[in-house]
Amino acid sequence: MASYSGNIIDIFNRRIFPGTVHFSNGIITEITEDNAVYDQYLLPGFTDAHIHIESSMLVPYEFAKVALIHGTVATVSDPHEIANVCGMKGVEYMIENAKDAKLKFNFGAPSCVPATSFETAGATLNADDVAQLLARPDIHYLSEMMNYPGVLFGDQEVMKKIKSAHRMNKVVDGHAPGLRGDDARTYIAAGISTDHECFTLDEALDKVNAGMKILIREGSAARNFEALHSLITSHTAMTMLCSDDKHPDELLHGHLNQLVVRALKNGHNLFDVLQCACVNPVLHYGLSVGLLREGDSADFIVINNPEEFLVSQTWIDGECVAKDGRTTLTNRSHNSINNFHAWNVTVQDIEVKKTSETVKVIEALDGQLITNCIQAKPLARDGQWVSNPEGDILKIAVINRYSKQKPVVGFIKNFGLKNGAIASTVAHDSHNIIVTGVGDADIVEAINLLMQSGGGLSAVSGTDKKVIALPVAGLMSDKSCEEIGRDYAAIDSMAKQIGSTLRAPFMTLSFMALLVIPHFKIGDKGLFDAAKFELTTLE
């Protein structure tokens, strides 16, 4: 028998009282109230309601070593990214790597591998594969159903995946940016329970009123908290908090704990905020995560006070797994898994012949996954379209990482580069190589550096070059968060030194290949009109 005392924040009964939590064999046996004076507070830990661990560039074990320090005790994790590269073996890799990480990872069965038929992924998970995953006790839900046109039109394969989840009493996550009205209601009526893609309050309210729960997302690239945080008060029971994508340099400084503090500073009630951050995800997904009740797992965190929310300890299953900024997890090496075909790209491979007076240009929006399609004019040189840095119209290309194919080249606005190029194999959802830059020679060099490293991030400006190798599927490092966070901060700084005006240039670049998000994107098979859900041309 063990115990821990402090001011207990009882979210269910919405009160704070001095007392002691008693637990044995990882289970809370009793919570007693007393009259002592304590200078610390106990409460349930945070659960990130939707995150791709891969986007932290860390394997699950290394992610846990940092997230535990910030009071995160559980995640609802979609292994969609590694599944698009490595298929079932990728999902199994994540589960296996997370086994001794203490943090309660709750992985889902990826619903859209590949995300669309308009791009080349490294694997396919059909309805039978998804059903096989859902039958596993360590797979907790059907991950975000991005193919909302397939739901609306009753695509047989899509509906089989959803029915498999319902048959096994597992939640189905949604992904339907901008979907409103009758289409949204049809999508929700198919049994899809959540959405983390709302970028306006009106859209969120439309979906809430149709019975869908909203995940307020605040990640490294997509930031929707300001638009949606009023839901914490107005629709507390229907709201959760998530990061979706969290880069390592930011994860070092905080996770959901930062979002909780921000919500409190915005005037939201403490118990409403904690219900969204701690309770709602556990109840909605049916997670084996304790909520500081008798009979629950002894999962809780210790903070200094409910204003600053400085996390001093994190307990999981009755074990203190993080204390005063340090985790009890030991350092260890990690296996790698990958799917990458390397070949050298030349300047000729990315040339674009001038055949019109203007071209369609992707307009990137800082802090958003959505983009616009505009008409603009790159520079014309020797009968070719090239980047126009003065007008901030840069060349962008996607190169198939799985087989040798001709690169697809387009143009993009708002990256701001004045010279050089940046490239990445983190390119949602199929994770082919994506690159943008000014000079063709630098663009090609940035691509070929990734070909040589088997995937990762690169930045080039003349003779100045930086590369971060990501040996695990071209998505994750086998290093610690401190190491990869330092390296990422350096390459991010270089991208900004050569002119990028974006808050997270590499993260934003990765989403330019995300075909399921409106309105205009680029994949390895061509430019894509997400509104019409079809390939389109440059002119």
* pLDDT, average across residues 364-384: 90
**Between helices 88-98 and 60-67, what is the axis angle to 10°?**
40
Decide if 34 is inside a domain: no
Decide if 308 is inside a domain: no
pLDDT at 535: 93
Query: CA distances (Å), 5 to each of 19, 27, 43, 302, 309, in order?
Result: 6, 16, 11, 10, 17
160 & 233 share domain: yes
208 & 357 share domain: no
Residue 429 in this model has a pLDDT that exceeds 90: no
Residue 107 in this model has a pLDDT that exceeds 80: yes
pLDDT at 312: 97
414 & 507 share domain: yes
Residue 536 in this model has a pLDDT that exceeds 90: yes
Decide if 41 is inside a domain: no
426 & 521 share domain: yes
pLDDT at 58: 97
pLDDT at 464: 94
Decide if 82 is inside a domain: yes
DSSP state of 462: T
Decide if 299 is inside a domain: no
pLDDT in tens, 210-239: 999 999 999 877 789 999 999 999 999 999
Residue 148 in this model has a pLDDT that exceeds 90: no
The share of the chain scoring above pLDDT 90, in percent, equals 91
The answer to whether the CB of 151 falls within 8 A of the CB of 187 is yes
From CA 80, how far away is CA 304, in angstroms rounded? Answer: 37
In this prediction, residue 517 has a pLDDT band, given cuts at 50, 70 and 90, of confident
* pLDDT, average across residues 78-98: 97
244 & 135 share domain: yes
Considering 250, 265, 287, which residue would you say is the last residue of a domain? 287
pLDDT at 161: 98
Decide if 508 is inside a domain: yes
Residue 367 in this model has a pLDDT that exceeds 80: no
Considering 261, 287, 313, which residue would you say is the last residue of a domain? 287
The share of the chain scoring above pLDDT 70, in percent, equals 100
CATH of the domain at 98: 3.20.20.140
Decide if 20 is inside a domain: no
283 & 411 share domain: no
Decide if 460 is inside a domain: yes
Residue 20 in this model has a pLDDT that exceeds 90: yes
pLDDT at 368: 81
Among 227, 175, 174, smallest CA distance to 205 is for 227
The domain total for the chain is 2
Residue 337 in this model has a pLDDT that exceeds 90: yes
From CA 224, how far away is CA 208, in angstroms rounded? Answer: 16
354 & 250 share domain: no
354 & 283 share domain: no
Query: CA distances (Å), 375 to each of 82, 139, 235, 358, 360, in order?
Result: 35, 45, 40, 6, 5
* pLDDT, average across residues 370-383: 92
For residue 93, what are its two tokens? 């890799």
Range of lowest pLDDT (42-56, 194-208, 388-402, 503-517): 503-517
* pLDDT, average across residues 283-309: 97
377 & 270 share domain: no
- What is the average pLDDT score of the chain? 95
pLDDT at 53: 97
265 & 134 share domain: yes
256 & 117 share domain: yes
From CA 385, how far away is CA 358, in angstroms rounded? Answer: 10
pTM for this predicted structure: 0.93
Considering 245, 265, 287, which residue would you say is the last residue of a domain? 287
* 260-284 burial: b if 16+ Cβ within 10 Å, else e: bbebbeeebebbbbbbbbbbbbbeb
Residue 359 in this model has a pLDDT that exceeds 90: yes
106 & 223 share domain: yes
- Domain housing 267: 46-287
Instruction: Enumerate residues 6+ apart whose C-beta is below 8 A from 414.
Output: 363, 364, 365, 366, 392, 501, 502
pLDDT at 220: 76
In this prediction, residue 116 has a pLDDT band, given cuts at 50, 70 and 90, of confident
Query: How many of the other CB atoms lie within 10 Å of CB of 231?
Result: 24
Max CA distance (Å), the chain: 83
